[in-house]
Amino acid sequence: MTLAAERDVASNHAGATFSRYSPVDGSVVATYPNQGLDETRAAIATARTAFDKSGWATSAAKDRAKVLQTASNLMLERVDDFATWIAKEAGKPMKAARSEVVHSAHVIAHYAALASDMRGEAITQQVPDAIGLVVNEPIGAVGIITPWNFPLSLVARKVAPALAAGCTLVAKPSHFTPKVTLMLRDLLIESGMPAEVFSVVTSDIDNGALVGQEIAGSTQLDMVAFTGSTEAGKAVARAATSNVKRVALELGGKSPNIIFADAELDDALRGAYTGIYLNSGQVCQAGTRLLVQRSVKDEFVERLIDMSKKIRMGDPLDPQTEMGPLVNEKQFARVQGYVERGISEAKLVYRGETPKDGGMERGHFVAPTIFDEVDSRATIAQEEIFGPVLSVLTFDTTEEAIRLANETMYGLAAAVWTTNINTAFEVTKAIRAGTVWVNAYHATSLNNMPYGGYGQSGLGRELGQHGLHEYLETKSIQIQLPRKRR
């Protein structure tokens, strides 16, 4: 089988399978059931019945919290098991893969704590003979559709709050990275979750499109939570109108990373480096538009090129590797196409070399690539590339930086590098994005703050209390007290 063969021929008969091929050298990584509409409808029916009849929705919060906390503890004991599969299927270097696993375990533990602390409101003393209660209840049976770039954390951010709320689930992971979703489900069952509460459907690329639309459009589900491209998110939202189910969407981005001349440039360089090269640029919030103030732009770009030359590309399982391959051949071709487009639109100032030995010459490697003198209206400055391709734009004033930052249909993330607190406040307030870092990029130290986007970067929020409330309905109960007879 060649590397171009990213999947087996689609099949709907019982026992059909598909294989995941390594993005490093094309070898078979794993084989999974190739499930279609029948299996998806059965999984949806299981989630529906489990919510309506199993008792999970009405179980004690402390019991749901115990399941989640146990799962978090077990995940931390098995970090390398999860990380190895992320490295094999997603092509993510082991260091970054381990970080994803630890983050996911912490998210699960956070929702274990929130499950034990859910509360409502009591409305009193408005009138003498009535009391009001505002209570939160689980929204119901939930469909989850997740991509391949963060195959564990993106599903954990949905599964954990949904289970904490008392919801039941059916999940469709990417056909490129199914393993860790299956491992998470097994871990939760081991931790005490009833098996019928959480089902997983695996399928190849052809069946996957059908499965995703079935989940999004099913009238048996009360909500669908999706992470992926903006165009796919729009399709999910359209399908969800079948029963006006709640929709949570975390979509694309074209995030500005703004460097002012007064910034601590060493720190800003590290932020720009991480902002574009983390996970080979396959990050929704990647800092793909680097806005640098004119007086320091040439120096900054030159130093960033020097850093880029030193990045170690290779096998994700090698502990020395800093950048792995792109996830598949289609993504490889897409990114290469944007690089060629960029050559006609801007000034190519750096393009690195990819690995050429150990079978990796057949891999989906794209080297760090930097374009300078990019017009904000250029294709590479407007469209999400999802690869290690950086566009450098120049600005003179704070007002110009804000204008350039907001010249996009997206609004997922942004960053501002400055030592002037007034500049920091002015710019963070003016940028239309769901997350704005100051003197940081991809920071996760406060990883339970709400996460989501403005504009065409999505609907709703993940993480923290906001993420929990996505999976809750709010009910007002008005109690009229008996009036005394005169």
Residue 5, pLDDT > 80, answer no
Answer whether 17-251+457-475 and 256-438 agree in fold: no
Which of 39, 100, 284, 345 is catalytic? The answer is: 284
Residue 284 annotated to the active site: yes
- How far are the Cα atoms of 16, 442, 476 from residue 277, in angstroms, in the given order? 37, 11, 48
- What is the b/e burial string over 354-382, where b = at least 16 CB atoms within 10 angstroms of the residue's CB? ebeeeebebbbbbbbbbbbbbebebbbbb
**Average pLDDT for the chain:** 94
Domain boundaries, the chain: 17-251+457-475, 256-438
- Pair 167, 195: CB distance under 8 Å: no
Would you state the structure tokens that stand for residue 333, as one six-digit string?
A: 């071709």
* Mean pLDDT value across residues 21-33: 93
Sign of CA dihedral 250, 398, 347, 304: negative
Report the C-alpha gap between 79 and 98 in whole angstroms.
Answer: 6
Q: Model confidence at 355, in pLDDT bands (50, 70, 90)? A: confident
Q: Give the percent of the chain with pLDDT over 70.
A: 96
Predicted pLDDT of residue 344: 96
Is the backbone of residue 238 left (phi > 0), alpha (psi -120 to 50) or beta?
alpha
Residue 468, pLDDT > 70, answer yes
Neighbours of 262 (CB within 10 A): 14
Report the C-alpha gap between 99 and 16 in whole angstroms.
Answer: 34
Neighbours of 3 (CB within 10 A): 19
Q: Model confidence at 357, in pLDDT bands (50, 70, 90)? A: confident
Radius of gyration of the chain from its Cα atoms, rounded to whole angstroms:
24
- Pair 464, 260: CB distance under 8 Å: no
Residue 484, pLDDT > 70, answer no
Q: Model confidence at 444, in pLDDT bands (50, 70, 90)? A: confident
Predicted pLDDT of residue 14: 62
Q: Give the percent of the chain with pLDDT over 90.
A: 89
Predicted pLDDT of residue 129: 87
Class of domain 256-438: alpha beta
- How far are the Cα atoms of 1, 336, 337, 400, 417 from residue 293, in angstroms, in the given order? 50, 29, 29, 10, 11
Q: Is 31 exposed, middle or buried (0-12, 13-18, 19+ CB in 10 A)?
A: exposed
Residues 6+ apart with CB under 8 A from 472: 118, 136, 137, 138, 139, 165
Identify the CA nearest to 219 among candidates 388, 416, 359, 45: 45
Predicted pLDDT of residue 145: 98
CA 139 to chain CA centroid, Å, is 22
Predicted pLDDT of residue 10: 34
Q: Model confidence at 9, in pLDDT bands (50, 70, 90)? A: very low
Residue 472, pLDDT > 50, answer yes
* Mean pLDDT value across residues 379-383: 97
- What is the b/e burial string over 194-219, where b = at least 16 CB atoms within 10 angstroms of the residue's CB? eebbbbbbbbbebbbeebbbbbbbbe
Predicted pLDDT of residue 127: 86
Predicted pLDDT of residue 6: 35
Q: For the segment 113-151, what is each residue's pLDDT rounded down to a tens digit?
A: 999 888 899 999 888 889 999 999 999 999 999 999 999
- Pair 54, 142: CB distance under 8 Å: no
pTM: 0.93
Report the C-alpha gap between 144 and 171 in whole angstroms.
Answer: 5
Residue 445, pLDDT > 80, answer no
Mean pLDDT lowest among 22-26, 125-129, 176-180, 315-319:
125-129
* Mean pLDDT value across residues 44-57: 95
- Pair 236, 59: CB distance under 8 Å: no
Residue 432, pLDDT > 70, answer yes
Predicted pLDDT of residue 3: 36
Tell how strand 389-395 and strand 369-372 pair up: parallel
Which of 250, 329, 345, 462 is catalytic? The answer is: 250
Residue 167 annotated to the active site: no
Mean pLDDT lowest among 28-32, 51-55, 203-207, 356-360:
356-360
Q: For the segment 163-199, what is each residue's pLDDT rounded down to a tens digit?
A: 999 999 999 999 999 999 999 999 999 999 999 999 9
User: What is the third-level CATH fold of 17-251+457-475?
Assistant: Aldehyde Dehydrogenase; Chain A, domain 1 (3.40.605)
